[in-house]
Amino acid sequence: MLLDPGDPLLAHAHERLHAEPVIWLATSRPHAVPVWFRWSDPAVTVFSRPDTAKIGQLRRDPAVALHLDTAAGGTDVVLLEGVAEFDDRPVGEDAFAAKYADQLGEQSFAAWRETFSVALKIVARRLVVWRAGEDGPEYRSVP
């Protein structure tokens, strides 16, 4: 596990990683795009169409950075660095489908997966989180 639930700042980052609908994925080109995701410490699952620029770039260089939109006027930041792996058997598709059920509307998750057929597992190797605290900025870099 990357995030220590006993550390209030890291527990906050964990909650945001579960709750937020979008994370920004940046490849080494650089190329940054918003994607739906599922957090399962220490991994992020993302699905993509196979014909996207990010997939071509990740085949050449799997290094990525991920970040949530800032919250609290830019004082609540969660950043991840990791390596993307193409995943033929993604774990947690049911949890992913449940997270985005409202956004999918009448479309089934199976139909959505036909379009977004490439599964990526991004193993987070580093996390940086900071936010404004009562006594000033709180900051962690793990590891």
Residue matched to tokens 């950043």: 79
| Tokens linked to 113 | 């997966």
Percent of the chain with pLDDT over 90: 87
Residue 74 — pLDDT band, cuts 50, 70, 90? confident
What letter represents residue 41's amino acid?
D
Stretch 125-138: mean pLDDT: 93
Q: What is the pLDDT of residues 23-48, one digit of tens each?
A: 999 998 878 999 999 999 999 999 99
Domains of the chain are 8-142 (2.30.110.10)
Instruction: Yes or no: say if 44 and 38 are a contact pair by the CB < 8 Å rule.
Output: yes
Instruction: Yes or no: say if 114 and 49 are a contact pair by the CB < 8 Å rule.
Output: no
Instruction: Yes or no: say if 10 and 129 are a contact pair by the CB < 8 Å rule.
Output: yes
Q: Other C-beta atoms within 10 Å of 99: how many?
A: 18
